[in-house]
Chains A and B, each alone.
Chain A
């Protein structure tokens, strides 16, 4: 009994150590979406003033496999991501909707003017409510929506060519085929 008891601390430590080891590859600030496999929350966003791009509502997204991209002109990573979104959209790989999160009047339009518009439609989420409904914690975030309008995947951080090819593209193609 006593002999075995002295092994307990070691066993506990080994168990904790293994969890620590796995924990190293986890990002504690990455929060999984609660929307996965659930329909997009209902919303209807007005267009950005003077941008010449229509706004959109949640039911508009139904019908095609598409991306909903949350961005803001104040967000540095969005600027990094933007050229690749343009490329995706011009190549016709996937339809992209934009949610312009908490931009000041004029900033969103200037952004699209300066960098080009990859979006089929862009909603102006000035008070940030739609972003909250989506469970957004930072920009950019991108949601893959299936034909039924359900959220199938959430990408946190910019879509780089690598992220697209390795992670998002397979999901998009699978959804296009299956439904």
Chain B
């Protein structure tokens, strides 16, 4: 019964989404404002219906209802309860339902919380959201129904891939989708702006928190995935340039560009067409990522079970959403004219440079990811594009972007003097050069790359701190005065500074892991000792242990360093009988400059246990850096800026100080 309720709720949700898409448009056309209000209610109803549907699926998992095919394929009675629940979205069908639920959540929040949005813009964005929701609910209903029954019901299920039975990975998809799907709101705003032929500071101010929210969630989602790959996959790495990883990274990069270009629209009323295009591109890349993961056009470690029919359906959604919005952009993009002039040395010019680099970086990842497909389709040849390519091509562009970030915040808006900016950056330059040389001299290997990487990190951190020092007049005024200035700085400024510092810290981790990771693999018997990075690691004993749905060989290592108390570490080689799969649980021992990371393999008679010992330098910087970026993002989101009504910002606001009523018809063709 419950699965049928879920299925039925989803069917109702489909029609609700259609109503949400059509009514506000119709209301605008015939001048009936109640239709728009009804559209807002549809958005809330859509959330309730998809929520019901999702709850029904989770319930089927919770009670192990093996009359539901999806539960059979992904669950098992011996699985711990928490993973029964999370298993609901650990598969294609369930994760698509979660995707739709999150889309409906954004729609509902937009409908309820969009009081500051001019009415015409508001109903148009909700309408666009409704179209996307309808398309994806149709996708779930027609190609990926999670509520399909199976008869006769098997006595037990096939279990969930043990790699997915993990707390980090259980929350990874929701955050990732909050990111991916969140970009649908800026997308909807962009489409609405094109239809209305108007994007201004008010528009930018409205879009900014949504773009930031989606981007911050995406940052969390990617980091969780990366963290999971690090500690669960047992390969000692954190990023592999796998197509599915790239699929999440491309909208992230475009999102960074979007956040920065929106700033220019907000402050200078320029770059509007570009910002609108970026908003479309960012969500388009989310959709392309969904296509990539679920169509099987590329091979990936992480892809879902693939089905060309699903791929064809998503491709139709892409054609409709991306093709439609870009057609709109082609026809009306030129109406979004900039006002005001740009000085070559100014914050806005620096932000344009930032956008050029980020979009180039994004295009690079896109090209590298899809190139094998392009070559296959065009010539039938099979080639591979792997990590060595991305490291060579992406890293220089990323480095240039980071180098730019240090100076950009020191450059004032409108017009700046190059000499003044250079003077302020002198200190950061000296520190960076010093740090680079120091590391270059002391590093065990990779002297040049290492020196350059550390110099870049120092440059960005010190440059950002210099900017904060300037803003608070640190050391130029009494400390109390500086403190007062610091608390008075807009939270968006703090957010941006923190995000930049976080990225620098992350870059330090990435550089450490890429340049100085050491690894060794040896056979060890109980009692044997190995030495890595002046840490001696002794294999103390190996026991057979039993978990709820696995058995494992658990190895205890004793790691000791001179003058330190020895520490005990556990590494496991688990076997999950239901799926017949093995997993590696690494022993991870954080040290001052990196992690000691140990995995064991299967015992070989006469030789012992194959033990792989890694030293992962600065790996913690990845997680702390990302956490800092996220904190910066949250701070920026919480800064709502000056209220639009307090200051006259655009023609729209000046015409309507209340900000609610819209003098134009909903589909404003006044500028066509």
In the complex with contacts A17-B319, A19-B374, A21-B315, A6-B330 CB distance below 8 A? yes
Residues of A within 8 A of B277 (CB): 9
- Contacting A at CB under 8 A, from B311-358, are 311-312, 315, 318-319, 322-323, 326-327, 329-331, 333-334
Contact B318 A28 (CB under 8 A): no
What residues of chain B lie closer than 8 Å to A25, measured between beta carbons?
308
B174-211, CB < 8 A from A: none
A173 to B21, CA, bound (A): 59
**Nearest-CB residue, chain A, relative to B297:** A23
B295 part of interface (Cβ distance < 8 Å): yes
Count, chain B residues at interface, CB 8 A: 36
Given contacts A6-B329, A6-B334, A9-B326, contact A32 B297 (CB under 8 A): no
Instruction: Assess A32 versus B382: contact at CB under 8 Å? Given A17-B323, A23-B297.
Output: yes
Q: Does A14 contact B (CB under 8 A)?
A: yes
- A23 CB contacts on chain B under 8 angstroms: 297, 373, 376-377
Docked complex: A100-147 residues within 8 A CB-CB of B: none
User: Is A3 an interface residue when CB atoms closer than 8 A count as contact?
Assistant: yes
Q: With the chains together, A14 CA to B284 CA distance in Å?
A: 13
Q: Report if A29 contacts B (CB, 8 A).
A: yes
* Pick from B291, B308, B331, B334: contact of A2, CB under 8 Å: B334
Chain A min CB distance to B222 (Å) = 23
A26 touches B334 (CB 8 A): no
Q: Does B78 contact A (CB under 8 A)?
A: no
* CB–CB B381/A32 < 8 A: yes
What is the 8 Å Cβ interface bit string for chain A, positions 1-26, against chain B (1 contact, 0 not)?
A: 01101110110011011011111111
Most chain A beta carbons < 10 A, residue from B308, B315, B376: B376
- Whole-angstrom distance between the Cβ of A93 and the nearest chain B Cβ: 29
Also in contact, A9 and B299, with CB within 8 A (given A20-B318, A24-B308): no
A7 close to B373 (CB less than 8 A): no
Q: Is B372 an interface residue (CB 8 A)?
A: yes
Interface: B380 (CB within 8 A): yes
Q: When the two chains form the complex, which single residue of B297, B330, B377, B381 contacts A9, counting CB atoms closer than 8 Å? A: B330
For residue B296, CB closer than 8 A to chain A, the reply is yes
B285 to chain A, nearest CB (A): 11
- CB pair A10 B330 closer than 8 Å: yes
Residues from chain A with Cβ under 8 Å of B298 in the complex: 28
Complex Cα distance, B315 from A147, in Å, reads: 46
- CB of A31 within 8 Å of the partner chain: yes
Contact B329 A10 (CB under 8 A): yes
Residues in chain B near residue A20, CB distance under 8 A: 291, 295, 297, 315, 318, 373
Task: Point out the residues of chain A lying under 8 angstroms from B295, CB to CB.
Answer: 20, 24
A28 to B331 alpha-carbon distance, docked (Å): 37
B281 contacts partner chain A, Cβ-Cβ < 8 Å: yes
Q: CB distance A24 to B312 under 8 Å?
A: yes
Q: Which residue of B lies closest to A27 (CB)?
A: B296
Which of A2, A5, A21, A28 contacts B299, CB < 8 Å? Answer: A28
Q: Does B120 contact A (CB under 8 A)?
A: no
Summarize A's interface: helix, strand, loop or mixed: helix
- Residues in A neighbouring B280, C-beta threshold 8 A: 9
Interface centre among A5, A7, A10 (most CB of B within 10 A): A10
Q: Is the CB of A7 within 8 A of B315?
A: no
* Across-interface contacts of A30 in B (CB, < 8 A): 382
Query: Residues of A contacting B273 with CB < 8 Å?
Result: 6
The CA-CA distance from A111 to B330 in the complex, in Å, is 64
CB interface residues, B 543-588, toward A, < 8 Å:
none
Question: Whole-angstrom distance between the alpha carbons of A18 and B442 in the complex?
Answer: 53
Compute how far the CA of A135 lies from the CA of B273 in the bound complex, rounded to whole angstroms. Answer: 52
The interface on chain A, measured as residues whose beta carbon lies within 8 A of the other chain's beta carbons, has a size of 24
Given contacts A9-B326, A10-B327, A13-B326, contact A3 B334 (CB under 8 A): yes
B244 to chain A, nearest CB (A): 13
> In the docked arrangement, what's the CA distance between A9 and B326, Å?
7
Closest residue of chain A to B303 (Cβ to Cβ) is A28
Select B373's contact among A2, A19, A31, A32, beta carbons within 8 Å.
Answer: A19
- Alpha-carbon gap, A30 to B298, bound state (A): 11
List chain B residues, Cβ under 8 A from A2: 334
**How many Å lie between the Cα of A70 and that of B312 in the bound state?**
34
Contact assessment for B329 and A26 in the assembled complex, using a CB-CB cutoff below 8 Å: no
- Shortest C-beta distance, B304 to chain A (Å), equals 15
Taking CB atoms, residues of chain A closer than 8 Å to B323 are: 10, 13-14, 17
Instruction: Name which residue of chain A comes closest to B382, CB basis.
Output: A31
Residues in chain A near residue B284, CB distance under 8 A? 13
Q: Which residues of B contact A10 (CB under 8 A)?
A: 323, 326-327, 329-330
Q: How far is the CA of A13 from the CA of B299 in the complex (A)?
A: 22
Q: Which residues of A contact B329 (CB under 8 A)?
A: 6, 9-10
Closest chain-B Cβ to A154's Cβ sits at a distance in Å of 13
Contacts of B296 in A (CB 8 A): 28
Are B315 and A17 closer than 8 Å at their CB atoms? yes
Assembled-state Cα–Cα distance A171/B312 (Å)? 32
A25 — nearest CB in chain B belongs to which residue?
Answer: B308
Distance from B634 Cβ to chain A, minimum over Cβ atoms (Å): 32
Bound complex: CA of A141 vs CA of B333, how far in Å? 54
B373 lies within 8 A of A26 (CB): yes
CA distance A26 to B377 in the complex (A): 8
- B380-391 contact mask (Cβ, 8 Å, vs A): 1 or 0: 111000000000
Q: How far is the CB of B110 from chain A (nearest CB, A)?
A: 25
A-B contact pairs, 11 of them (CB 8 A): A5-B334, A7-B330, A14-B323, A17-B323, A20-B318, A23-B376, A24-B312, A26-B373, A28-B297, A29-B299, A30-B382
Q: Taking beta carbons and an 8 Å cutoff, which residues of B are in contact with A?
A: 273, 277, 280-281, 284, 291, 295-299, 308, 311-312, 315, 318-319, 322-323, 326-327, 329-331, 333-334, 370, 372-374, 376-378, 380-382
Q: With A26-B373, A32-B381 given, can you name 12 additional A-B contacts, CB distance below 8 Å?
A: A6-B273, A6-B334, A7-B330, A9-B326, A19-B370, A19-B378, A24-B308, A26-B297, A28-B372, A28-B382, A29-B299, A30-B382
Query: 7 closest Cβ contacts across the A-B interface?
Result: A6-B333, A10-B326, A23-B297, A7-B330, A22-B377, A10-B330, A28-B299
